[in-house]
Structure 1
Amino acid sequence: MIEIGSRTRTLPAPPLVVWESLVEPRRPGARPWLVLLPDEVDPVVLAAEAPGRVVWSSLWPSRPNDQVRFVLTPSGDGGTSLGFTLLTPDEAPDRSKTGHLRKRLNQLLFADLRYSYGQ
């Protein structure tokens, strides 16, 4: 697998809450956060081990073999250190596409998901 990109940031919610958000992003009663673009699809959870690990299928039909792997660890302030790694078994995309994929994951996780927790 080739690493296309990765990032780790802190979210205000505890690991189990973040894990549940990633495993079931459209859970009834949860604040909506997974707002996809027209060229994106809901990810399928390929693997999950509560509360520290989740693997998603690709969000992009044009890149069906990509995966997003998440590692969740407690942060010192009661929140979660959430790290993602975008991987592919195929050729890495060009610079423009790579930038787009990274930007989308950053937006979804470290803006939209973060704000769904009220911060």
Structure 2
Amino acid sequence: MAAGQEGDVHVLGSRQRSQPAPAHVVWRSLRDPYQVGSRPWLELRDDEVPPRVVAGYAPVLLVWSSLWPHRPGDEIRFDISRGLPGGDCALRWTLTTPDADLPSESTLGYLRHRLNYLINNRLRLSHGQ
């Protein structure tokens, strides 16, 4: 997927997939990935930092600051669509940047792959699937 642009914000990547937990549970897992009693899923690499919650509206929207200190302006937006009551939900992550200087294709591929792994593998498995 090529980087797109929304106003002054460039979309670097986006992916939607179902999560095997209700929207409010997924939202809480994103809001506090190190919540006591939850399964650990956000395992950061040496070149990553814990995200800060920049904005949120439970249980449908949450925005993180960048995981990468070398890309401090990036944000990760999570849009959560409710499924059936008590059932699963759909989760879309979208990586954006205000920077006009876009990352190289190899960096972009790495960032997308890393987010997809964390959200559509690690987070998903933490909810039992």
Do the structures match in fold with TM over 0.5?
Answer: yes
* Among 71, 82, 94, the residue aligned to 1:85: 94
User: Match of 1:8, SS?
Assistant: strand
Distance 2:66 2:79 in 1: 17
Aligned to 1:46: 54
Name the structure, 1 or 2, with higher relative contact order (CA <8 Å, separation 6+).
Answer: 1
* Contact 1:10/1:75, CA 8 A, preserved across alignment: no
Structure 1's consecutive aligned runs of 4 or more residues displaced over 6 angstroms after TM superposition are none
Aligned amino acid, residue 104 of structure 1: R
* Contact 1:39/1:61, CA 8 A, preserved across alignment: yes
Distance 1:47 1:18 in 2: 16
Identity %: 50
1:75 CA drift (Å): 2.9
TM-score, normalized by length of structure 2? 0.90
* Among 85, 97, 105, the residue aligned to 1:95: 105
Aligned amino acid, residue 85 of structure 1: T
Work out whether 1:112 is the aligned partner of 2:122. yes
Aligned to 2:19: 11
Aligned amino acid, residue 79 of structure 2: V
Distance 2:29 2:104 in 1: 30
1:76 CA drift (Å): 4.9
Distance 2:65 2:45 in 1: 16
TM-score, normalized by length of structure 1? 0.97
